[in-house]
Amino acid sequence: MTFSIGSHELAAPVVLAPMAGVTNAPFRALCRRYADGLVYVNEMVMATPVVHANAKTHRMISFGPDERPRSQQIYGSDPNVMGQAVHRLCDDGRVDHIDINFGCPAAKVTRRGGGAAVPARPELLRSILRSAVSNAAPYGVPVTAKFRMGLFDDWLTHLRTGEVCAEEGVAAIAMHARTVEQHYSGEARWEAIGELKAHIVGLGYDIPVLGNGDIWEASDAVAMMEQTGCDGVVIGRGCLGRPWLFADLVDALNGRDVAPSRLLGEVVSVMADHARMLADHLGENHALRDFRKHTGWYMSGYPIGSEFRRRFAMVATLDELDDILGEVLDQCGAETRIVDGGERIKRGHTRGPTKVSIPDGWLDGQQRAALDTDVTVPDDDQQMAMSGG
């Protein structure tokens, strides 16, 4: 099964979702070991520090020398700034593909009308997309967009958002099948992905629609595509501690048998490699503090006991990590299998539902109707720019 974004033909219609503090260069390289030729999107960066050459942001926009396509997600609510950021990324030759985030559910962003609240104002959405696409087009760089179903069940925006994306020349769209209110709780509502795909087809547009939400095993991707008619999948939390999921996805989507769950010995080997790659990228001290969260994801479902989990959560050096990994193998055995259902243990964010924060007056009927034509730029820039991305 082939799939293309721009001129990049992929081994399967699979995209790694950008995740802050996770999808950096070492993690993407690890995933590519299992399945090259997919879209592995870098961590999100803010448009403003890209324009102003923020040093931290530019360090984040790093790719392996053989990494193609070089995919970068950016966030911004100001059409002019977004256009400048896209122009800079393309003109500097840093990227082969740009994804724009319209799904950020953070309250400090949505309360100002930014992030996942932008699709509630379709003309502002249109202006941002038009600026991004027009600045990327001369370089042949495709622009894609990711968004949620809407703010809450009484304010769904996914159909209109997909329509605007198609009209403005976006190369592909991806939808997380949850509302902002759901956050990461409950079940992803795949039927909304089917609605979006049918809507886009009904309008006569041939733009790929990708689904995101609750893909924990390769069989879930097959089921999502069969049930919704979507063109591909976006993988987020399901690959945390499981970079081999991408190999399974390529096999499943190409009609091949999927490998059985990895034994503990292979998991331990991958953990050791991942930690060293992070240390080369971030320095050992910072890397091991960052790697602590990964240890919990890697060991999810494996019966290693609470004491080992406690020690992993406090690991501080590569030597200490090696010692713990060696003891795990000695006591548990390299042939230890994951428990039944272990692959489906939820990893990463699980919080929600949550109260949706939006600007005062947005729920008033008259003002809500006026938002259809509102292109006022949200004052949300400093809310995220402080972190450099």
How far apart (Å, rounded) are the C-alpha atoms in residues 185 and 198?
26
Read off the tokens for 31.
Answer: 């995933």
Q: What's the gap between Cα 47 and its chain centre?
A: 17
Other beta carbons within 10 angstroms of residue 333's beta carbon come to: 12
CB 176 within 8 A of CB 146: yes
CB 342 within 8 A of CB 261: yes
Residue 3 phi, psi dihedral angles, 5° rounding: -160, 140
Q: How far is CA 152 from CA 78, 113, 260, 373, 382, in A?
A: 24, 15, 38, 21, 25
How far apart (Å, rounded) are the C-alpha atoms in residues 176 and 194?
12
Read out DSSP for 111-126? TTT-GGGGGGSHHHHH
Is 104 a known active-site residue? Answer: yes
Residue tagged active-site, from 31, 104, 165, 230: 104
How far apart (Å, rounded) are the C-alpha atoms in residues 340 and 203?
44
How far apart (Å, rounded) are the C-alpha atoms in residues 268 and 239?
16
Quick one: which H or E segment has residue 3? strand 3-5
Say which amino acid occupies 370. Answer: A
Q: How far is CA 388 from CA 55, 136, 304, in A?
A: 8, 22, 38
Catalytic sites, residue numbers: 104
